[in-house]
């Protein structure tokens, strides 16, 4: 049974920064993630995405941010348990025991949950049944396959507009279709896409995909108008994801069904169990990577005291070492 001071569940940006900070506090650390690679959703879905709101980086690609976080976390010599899911959690005296889906059991002094939105699956495009892998995808991990193609993106959030902005210079054409005329994406990105060659069709939905082997064109129904047809060798359904907290919901941890409730110290209602990042909820919560980094430091510093009551919450600045 592996024994560590701190077990981190989730290897996205917040989890990786938590691993570094645990090492800074002198804690032995292990990290579990259900994905086979480090970096969480960024690695799985957005490695080429330009991230603009991380302090100190005017712009940084997702894959580069993850690479930096992994290198930083390596200073803590974490033990990684990838492609494995935390299934059970129990308290044994002053220890927390977590069982993984492969039978591994980890004994920890404290647990920090940084699992993002938990397990996630993309929302389906009703007209896309049978087209996945034949031109229909739900996210864009690489831009290269879209060079010279006609691309239709369905959605009105950050992902839809980010991909439209990035694909516009390399695709033959980009069309963005959204069911409403208001968008959830960042205003600056929306403005940039409006000023580009991207065709934006609102109050509309994709009603059919057509082609022999792969997608060749899509039918778009606009409210009160005749259907439109646009060429498309690639369709991206950026309709968001259905999050599932999975086995975590059986641990007795307080949630609002979608997120884990924490206090200002990042404590959950369970002893020695903390949470940080997008999975958390508290009054005034803002879901940004930058916020997750701060929550990670808060959680680790308070976990350090839970593990060793003689420790101090504030360890001093790293620049003082």
Asked if residues 300 and 19 have their Cβ atoms less than 8 Å apart, the reply is no
Confirm whether residue 310 is marked as ligand binding: no
Whole-number Å distance between alpha carbons of 164 and 182: 16
Buried b (16+ CB within 10 A) or exposed e, 168-203: beebebbbbbbeeeebebeeebbebbeeeebebbee
Confirm whether residue 249 is marked as ligand binding: no
User: Can you tell me which residue has the tokens 């404290």?
Assistant: 110
User: Can you tell me which residue has the tokens 């977590």?
Assistant: 98
Confirm whether residue 121 is marked as ligand binding: no
- Report strand pairing: 136-137 vs 150-154: unpaired
Confirm whether residue 181 is marked as ligand binding: no
Burial of 271 per CB tally in 10 Å (0-12, 13-18, 19+): exposed
In DSSP terms, 90 is beta-bridged to: 97
Confirm whether residue 271 is marked as ligand binding: no
Confirm whether residue 278 is marked as ligand binding: yes
Confirm whether residue 319 is marked as ligand binding: yes
Asked if residues 290 and 55 have their Cβ atoms less than 8 Å apart, the reply is yes
Confirm whether residue 146 is marked as ligand binding: no
Cα end-to-end distance, the chain, whole Å: 33
Q: Which two tokens stand for residue 215?
A: 């997608």
**Cβ neighbours for 226, distance < 8 A, ≥ 6 positions apart:** none
Binding site for FAD, by residue number, is 14, 33, 41, 46, 86, 120, 278, 319
Binding site, by residue number, is 14, 33, 41, 46, 86, 120, 278, 319
């Amino acid at each position: 049974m592996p024994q560590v001071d701190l077990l981190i569940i989730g290897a996205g940006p917040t989890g990786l920064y938590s691993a570094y900070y645990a090492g800074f506090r002198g804690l032995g650390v292990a990290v579990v993630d259900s994905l086979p690679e480090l970096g969480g959703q960024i690695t799985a879905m957005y490695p080429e995405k330009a991230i603009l709101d991380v302090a100190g980086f005017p712009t940084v690609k997702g894959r580069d941010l993850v690479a930096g976080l992994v290198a930083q976390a390596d200073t803590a010599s974490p033990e990684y348990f990838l492609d494995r899911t935390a299934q059970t959690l129990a308290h044994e005296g002053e220890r927390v025991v977590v069982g993984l889906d492969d039978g591994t059991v980890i004994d920890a002094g404290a647990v920090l949950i940084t699992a993002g939105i938990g397990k996630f699956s993309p929302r389906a495009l009703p007209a896309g049944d049978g087209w996945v892998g034949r031109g229909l995808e739900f996210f864009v991990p690489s831009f290269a396959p879209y060079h010279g193609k006609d691309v239709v993106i369905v959605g009105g959030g950050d992902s839809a507009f980010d991909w439209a902005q990035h694909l516009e210079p390399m695709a033959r054409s980009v069309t963005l279709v959204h069911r409403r005329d208001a968008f959830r994406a960042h205003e600056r990105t929306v403005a940039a896409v409006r000023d580009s060659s991207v065709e934006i069709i609102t109050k509309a939905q994709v009603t059919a995909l057509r082609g022999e082997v792969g997608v060749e064109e899509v039918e778009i129904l606009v409210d009160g108008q005749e259907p439109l047809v646009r060429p498309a060798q690639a369709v991206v359904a950026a309709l968001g994801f259905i999050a599932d907290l999975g086995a975590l919901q059986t641990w007795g941890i307080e949630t609002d069904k979608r997120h884990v409730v924490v206090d200002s110290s990042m404590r959950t209602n369970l002893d020695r169990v903390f949470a940080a990042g997008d999975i958390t909820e508290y009054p005034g919560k803002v879901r940004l990577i930058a916020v997750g980094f701060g929550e990670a430091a808060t959680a680790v510093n308070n976990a350090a005291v839970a593990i060793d009551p003689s420790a101090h919450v504030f360890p001093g600045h790293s620049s003082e070492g």
